[in-house]
Amino acid sequence: MKLRQVIPLAFVILAVVLTAIPVYAASPPYDDPDSPPTLTEIHANHNLLEPDDWFLYGEYDIEYADLPDDTIDDTFIFQLLDTDGVTVIGFALGYPYIDNGYGYGVISFYFSALDAPAWDPPVGNYTIRLIGNPTKFLTPPVYDFTVSSTAFSASTSQVSNQLQVYDAIIDITHSLELEWPMTLLTDVEGTGTVFNASGEEYFRSAIIGISVLSPQLFYIQKLSVDTSKRVWGTSQSDTYKARLNGTWIATAIDSVANTINIPSILLVGVVALAFCVWFIWLSVKKFKTAAPGFLASFLVLMCFGMLYMGLILVALVAFVCILIIGNILFLRKA
């Protein structure tokens, strides 16, 4: 074989061999993190979804300058140790979202009422252990973090605990936003601070069930519909009738009514009627028809009723006004 035929063939063989060899930035066995990992913002809340359940969560930081090729859920596992410091009662994995899950992220443990361990233990009773996957490290690193008694909520109310989870997760999310090249929160008028699309994407995967553990974190919330039969009453009407009690307006009305010896509600009705007559007269004078005056009178009676006379009278007046307006607009012949 001639040299000019051998050289191209050698290049082809070399290219096949090189492309068959995978190249990793950092392949196993991995080194320990660049600095000891941290686990901060540890909180524990209970009675979130059902009585006596509990939820433990926090923010981790596992730093690598050269990121492992495997994602964090393949290289590390978080374990929750019981009060004996040996028995594993729960485990969790980090969620690979930014930088394969290394650096900053959140971790959580949730226990139903049936499986939940004892609540509010003395300091140091529970331990969160971070341990390397033995298949990824020659000597798997182990790091222990004490769950302080101050991490446990003192409240027993479901609403209070859900709000505490909301506050804690918002604080953690602000911390993540400082480290990640994106925003995770948005402010919605009338609702407050909630997850944006990126925040929902991360936290729904990092904390399974977060939408029911703390619905306030989401703009669109799933709520239970109250299907019980409603009992109707006059409480709102009574509130409207009494809204001026003790004010200078009510005192002035009562003073005038007492001077001319008539009930105060009759005085208010006469004043309202005077406004109605004036609007009707003005309508006839300006537009040669009483229809606009009747419409204005309807508004006057509604305002006076809401301020002083109560909703029952307002409803009766509104019904009569509707009949009159309907007669003017639809039944009266031209």
- Lowest-confidence pick of 148-152, 192-196, 254-258: 254-258
- Calculate mean pLDDT across residues 9-31: 53
Homologous superfamily of domain range 38-217: C2 domain (2.60.40.150)
Query: What is the average pLDDT score of the chain?
Result: 84
Q: Report, as an integer, the average pLDDT of 10-17.
A: 42
Which residues 6+ apart lie within 8 Å of 256 measured at CB?
267
- HEC assignment per residue over the chain: CCHHHHHHHHHHHHHHHHHCCCCCCCCCCCCCCCCCCEEEEEEEEECCCCCCCEEEEEEEEECCCCCCCCCHHHHEEEEEECCCCCCEEEEECCCCCCHHHCEEEEEEEEECCCCCCCCCCCCCCEEEEEEECCCCCCCCCEEEEEECHHHECCCCCHHHHHHHHHHHHHHHHHHHHHHCCCCCEEEECCCEEEECHHHHHHHHHHCCCHHHHCHHHCCCCCCCCCCCCCCCCCHHHHHHHCCCCCCHHHHHHHHHHHHCCCCHHHHHHHHHHHHHHHHHHHHHHHHCCCHHHHHHHHHHHHHHHHHHHCHHHHHHHHHHHHHHHHHHHHHCCC
Q: For residues 19 and 27, what is the distance between their CA atoms, to the nearest angstrom? A: 17
**Where do the structural domains in the chain lie, given as residue ranges?**
38-217, 235-331
Average pLDDT over residues 82-95: 92
> What pLDDT score does 12 carry?
41
pLDDT at residue 332 tops 90: no
Q: What is the pLDDT of residues 173-211, one digit of tens each?
A: 999 999 999 999 999 988 899 999 999 999 999 999 999
Q: Looking at the predicted structure, is the pLDDT value of residue 41 above 90?
A: yes
Q: Which residue has the tokens 């393949």?
A: 74
The pLDDT value recorded for residue 6 is 44
> What's the pLDDT score for residue 275?
86
Please check the confidence at residue 100 and state whether its pLDDT lies above 70.
Answer: yes
The predicted pLDDT at position 13 comes to 43
